[in-house]
Chain A
Amino acid sequence: MPPALAADAVTFAYGRTPVLDCVHLAVAPGEFVALAGPNGSGKSTLVRLLLGLLAPATGTVSVLGMPPGALRQRWRVGYVPQRPAMVDLLPATVEEVVMAGRIARRGWWRRPDAGDRASVAAALDTVALGDLAKRRLAELSGGQQQRALIAKALAPGPDLLILDEPVAGVDADSQRRFRDALVALARERDAAVLLVSHEFGAVADDLDRLVVLRAGKVAFDGPPAELTATGVSLGVHAHDLPLWLEGLR
């Protein structure tokens, strides 16, 4: 079975500024992988390459077994960006926002049907927001808003979910709900999950692999236990990991 997500010897630069240097990454179906690294290490650029929003200078990227641009069923890739600033002012209900996640699957010109509504309800239940479906998104706390955006990505039933720092500033209860949703997606639906984050406290015990980028190169790729055995705490990652990376020099 091909990996759900793969970067093979990927190199990328913004102009003459190199960002990624011969990066290899693979995530298998059902695997829960985290991507970490200090600011400027190339995490966000790698995510944009994997999503097909950028093209590598050299090397290849594949999503669900094919180049990102060749994938017709794009709804099979779920994407949770950092919380858009727009959501605080958006005059929309939680249900409307999550329903927007279904639009690529059913066709943008079609009206939602019973199947769409059932999928939205299930996605909201997964992140424990079913009771707040009719609430205006702006009424929710930051953590609840982030869970709503995760539900939006879950609604089409993706085979691959990429999350870009989704738990920054999120309360503990929301982090726990968030962890439950990701674990269920990977273990029960055999979907691949790539989580980019600075905080792994809530999911550290559930990760299959941790990949650490430093200065555009993969500095570590293995089970989190190998890293924590060296004394690095993933729960306070923001403080420990840079120190650990310094030790690699």
Chain B
Amino acid sequence: MNLPLPWPFDRDYMQLALIAGLVVGVTAPLIGTFLVQRRLSLMGDGVGHVAFAGVSAGLLAGVWPVWTALVAAVAGAVAIEWLRARGRATGDLALALFFYSGIAGGVVLTGLAGSLDAGTLTYLFGSILTVTRADAATIAVLGVAILAAITVAWRALFSLVVDEEAARVAGLPVGGLNLALAALTAVTVVAGMRIVGVLLVAALMVLPVGAAQRLATSFRGTLVAASTVGAVSAVLGLAAARQWGLAPGGTIVLVAAGLFVVASVLPRAGGLRAVQARQASH
């Protein structure tokens, strides 16, 4: 593949990186919008750490680590949701349990595999410039699955954001929707693993959403704006990484953080009216 794209995407490896980066840049904030609204911003981090244990298990077993990471991440995400929904642990405590167990399990399994090397680091911190056609194809398939799921279910997931108890009374399949969101979070983490790494993928679920919340006035607008900020972060981050020889994963996240800061200092959409409404009600 060598498309006639301008610098910095004129090389084959940059074009594969662009595809992978755009897919994750668009889809991660879509999932993140629901997590942020439900005060589960760190869910991606917890699942990412469990995914690292899956990567290590794959390296130990000689299986492609993406598959083992996917299995571990989905199992971990479902377990976190199960603990949270049944009140066995608060959301942050359930996350902490899997956060630390995941990273500890990953370290132990990596030690057993004798593979604590640069290959492992590509999963921890991402290595978008070494994305192969197979990687890009896998990421694209996962991205399409996430987009399809959100297209069908975003209105139902929004109902849970507004009021989970009212949604339960209305007969929505709240448990199933929560599990689906957890599983989608896991798929997103695995899709982003090769781009920014399991330690940073949650940033792409949260930072673009923080910026979008300042810019959009509607929930649909927030979804679109968050995806746009994520995509712009991926493109600018890749360009900056090539220009200045920076680590691409970290650069993409830093660009997203920068956009969040810029959006934070801009006047909030509808902010003046909100202040006036509050003053009128007091």
Contacts and interface: CB of A to CB of B under 8 A. Distances in A.
Given A71-B171, A74-B170, A91-B222, 14 more contacts: A74-B169, A75-B171, A81-B165, A84-B163, A86-B37, A91-B212, A92-B218, A92-B219, A100-B159, A101-B170, A108-B155, A136-B269, A138-B274, A144-B277
Contacts of B172: 103-104, 108
Size range of the chain A interface in the assembly? 35 or more
Interface in B226-282: 269-270, 273-274, 277-278, 280-281
A136 B218 contact: yes
Contacts of B219: 90-93, 96
Given A74-B170, A81-B163, A96 B281 contact: no
Size range of the chain B interface in the assembly? 35 or more
Q: Which of B152, B218, B269, B278 has the most CB of A within 10 A?
A: B218
Nearest to B221: A91
B274 A103 contact: no
Contacts of A79: 165-166, 169-170
Given A140-B277, A141-B280, A90 B161 contact: yes
A86 B162 contact: yes
Nearest to A51: B169
Given A74-B170, A81-B165, A136 B270 contact: yes
19 contacts: A53-B169, A74-B169, A81-B163, A81-B165, A84-B163, A86-B37, A90-B162, A91-B222, A93-B217, A93-B218, A96-B220, A100-B162, A103-B155, A103-B159, A108-B172, A138-B274, A139-B270, A141-B278, A152-B166
Contacts of B163: 81, 84, 86, 149
Interface in A35-92: 51-53, 71-72, 74-75, 77, 79-81, 84, 86-87, 89-92
B173 interface: yes
Nearest to A156: B170
Interface in B138-166: 152-153, 155-156, 158-159, 161-163, 165-166
A135 interface: yes
B171 A135 contact: no
A103 B154 CA distance: 11
Given A91-B217, A138-B270, A109 B152 contact: yes
Interface string B199-232: 0000000000000110011111110000000000
Nearest to A72: B171
A136 B162 contact: no
Given A74-B169, A84-B163, A100-B162, A91 B218 contact: yes
Nearest to A95: B218
A216 interface: no
Given A109-B156, A136-B218, A143-B281, A92 B162 contact: yes
